[in-house]
Amino acid sequence: MQLGEEIRRRRTFAIISHPDAGKTTLTEKLLLYGGAIQTAGSVKGKATARHAVSDWMDLEKQRGISITSSVLQFEYEGFCINILDTPGHQDFSEDTYRTLMAADSVVMVIDAAKGIEPQTRKLFKVTAMRNIPIFTFINKLDRDARDPFELLDQLEKEFGIGTYPMNWPIGSGIDFKGVFDRKERQILAFGDMHKGQMKLDAVKCDITDTAGLDGLIGEYARRELVSEIELLDGASFDFDLEKVRCGKLTPVFFGSALTNFGVQPFLESFLELTTPPLVRNTKMGEITPEDEHFSAFVFKIQANMNKAHRDRITFLRICSGKFEREKEYLHVQSGKTLRLSQPQQMMADSRQIINEAYAGDIIGVFDPGIFSIGDTVCDKAKKVRFEGIPTFAPEHFAIIEHKDSLKRKQFVKGVEQIAMEGAIQIFHEPNTGMERVIVGVVGELQFEVLEYRLKNEYNVEVTRNNLPYQYIRWVKNPGLDISSLNLTSDTKWVQDFKGGDLLIFTSDWNINWALEKNEGLILEEFSRE
């Protein structure tokens, strides 16, 4: 198969939602259709349950929540699909933000009873900034749900995006009869005998066939459906593929991931409507996926996925060309040439060595300690450099110290490796070492994850003392003597482990004081390479 053909069959997308909207359940069912797994796992934190494939970390299995993004690749009807399953919990949102940078489209899962929830709002804003296609799966129709028109109206008003329902629900909860396919003008009927079944046969039934519809879904449901479809056909947004592909119109699907209902029609429509790999921006201009020269960027690093080897895996999103095993590539930031001899296709924490991969694919490579989030790897014959991925400002801070002085080396290694993943940020006060580390996180649960991982992966127990600071700013004045600044007594000067200067504050008032009392001081809320 030619380079262009391989790339055009790639589909790389992220799945986002508020916690418990059914994101990981939907991911599992998509994997079932691709034959990647044989049995969908439970996503609840029960010791005896099968766990979701994408929730591979021990703590995820105990808590029943997604803590880290997972990469899952499988084949389906000629497409090569790369799914990025992201954490829903807001405390792990920075991992999600970075992962969204690697996606070409997004599937947004919404609980039909709850509608749009806070974390969905945040993630949508990040997605919308890139103008990439957004597909909406309104989930849990097998439970009591809000009025579907109300859900569409909420999407349009809160997100400022057009909606086009690809199908339409017939009731919900105990009265859920199925969905009406607007394009094919047929009904996919739901019943107890269908629950869990992978594929259902649609019943073609014209909307004017009163007797046929009455026999299929009942007179009351038929009257409601006819009225609602007439309203949709006359008053809703027109379908426009160009608007879908630039993120201005979201196709909406109704279904139930838990029972498999509506998942296959969604998958097949999604693959038809979404885009192959997109053009990417570099500091030298745009680069197209079909450029014959290989290029990729690092969007995720994960230590200790394999407990037996204690290695670190760097996740690369390939943006152009073809990756070949054993070929030498340039690590742009260091200027070093690397031979990535063990590239891996990922299925959560399972891996398979591959010989080649193409634009759109996500691959894992062994990290000897050289990679950082946002780095570029490319063909030596054509040097490119992708724009850096923002480092978001942490909002919670604590001093972390090891309990056992004999385990200092393990402590330093553990904290540094976990920090390299981007889940935490580590700082120290000037002229101090690694005995006392200040850790900053976006969400407080990250402290628990850090303590758990240090104990279980590095055999180090730590003490944590929370600090009152809430804001951090990067100092962008080159060569500035920070000790000469006029600052409030509860403002602290810290440094990152690249030697960068930062200030942490307890309030907005203190930030304004620093700016007002120190003319020319430049503070930035996030850092980009």
Helix (H) or strand (E) holding 225: helix 219-235
pLDDT tens for each residue of 90-122:
545 566 777 888 999 999 999 999 999 887 887
The rounded Cα 175 to chain-centroid distance in angstroms is: 34
Query: Which residue type, as a one-letter code, is found at position 433?
Result: G
Can you read off the two tokens belonging to residue 195? 């629950």
Euclidean distance between CA atoms 94 and 393, whole angstroms: 10
User: What fold characterizes domain 396-524?
Assistant: Alpha-Beta Plaits (3.30.70)
Strand, helix or coil for residue 105: strand
Nearest to 226 by CA among 184, 175, 187: 187
* pLDDT band with cut points at 50, 70 and 90 for residue 65: very low
- Mutual angle of helices 118-128 and 93-100, in 10-degree steps: 30
CATH of 280-378, one of 3.40.50.1000, 3.30.390.50, 2.40.30.10, 2.40.50.1020: 2.40.30.10
Which position has the token pair 């080897």? 309
Specify the pLDDT at position 216: 84
pLDDT at 400 over 70: yes
CA dist 505 and 469 (Å) reads: 5
pLDDT of amino acid 36:
63
67 has pLDDT over 90? no
Please tell me the distance from the alpha carbon of residue 167 to that of residue 169, in angstroms, as a whole number.
Answer: 7
Highest mean pLDDT among 74-83, 119-128, 179-188, 286-295: 286-295
Q: Please report which confidence band the pLDDT of residue 207 belongs to, taking 50, 70 and 90 as the band edges.
A: confident
Across 155-159, 447-451, 460-464, least confident range:
447-451
**Cα-based angle 59, 442, 399 (whole degrees, multiple of 5):** 85
Residue 393 has pLDDT above 50, yes or no: yes
- The pLDDT mean for the chain works out to 84
Residue 451 to residue 98: CA distance in whole angstroms = 23
CATH code linked to domain 9-69+105-273: 3.40.50.300
Examine the pLDDT at 371 and tell me if it is beyond 80.
Answer: yes
One-character DSSP codes across 109-167 = EEETTTBS-HHHHHHHHHHHTTT--EEEEEE-TTS----HHHHHHHHHHHH--EEEESE
| pTM confidence score | 0.80
Residue for token pair 């590539």: 329
| Percent over 90 (pLDDT), the chain | 50
- Give the 3-state secondary structure of residue 32: helix
DSSP 387: P
Q: Would you give the end-to-end CA distance of the chain in angstroms?
A: 37
Contact call for residues 346 and 365 (beta carbons, < 8 A): no
Count the alpha carbons within 13 Å of 124 in the hemisphere toward its beta carbon. 23
pLDDT at residue 497 above 50?
Answer: yes
Higher pLDDT: 249 or 388? It is: 249
**Domain positions in the chain:** 9-69+105-273, 280-378, 396-524
**Burial class of residue 298 in the structure, from the number of CB atoms within 10 Å of its CB (0-12 exposed, 13-18 middle, 19+ buried):** buried
Sign of CA dihedral 318, 322, 327, 331: negative
Q: How far apart are CA 388 and CA 375, in angstroms?
A: 7
Average pLDDT over residues 403-430: 87
Residue 123 pLDDT: 79
Lowest-pLDDT choice from 158-162, 189-193, 475-479: 189-193
Of the chain, the percentage scoring pLDDT greater than 70 comes to 85
Most confident of 165-169, 341-345, 383-387, 408-412: 165-169
Half-sphere exposure of residue 273: CA atoms within 13 angstroms, side-chain side: 30
Give the closest residue to 120 by CA, choosing from 262, 15, 190.
15
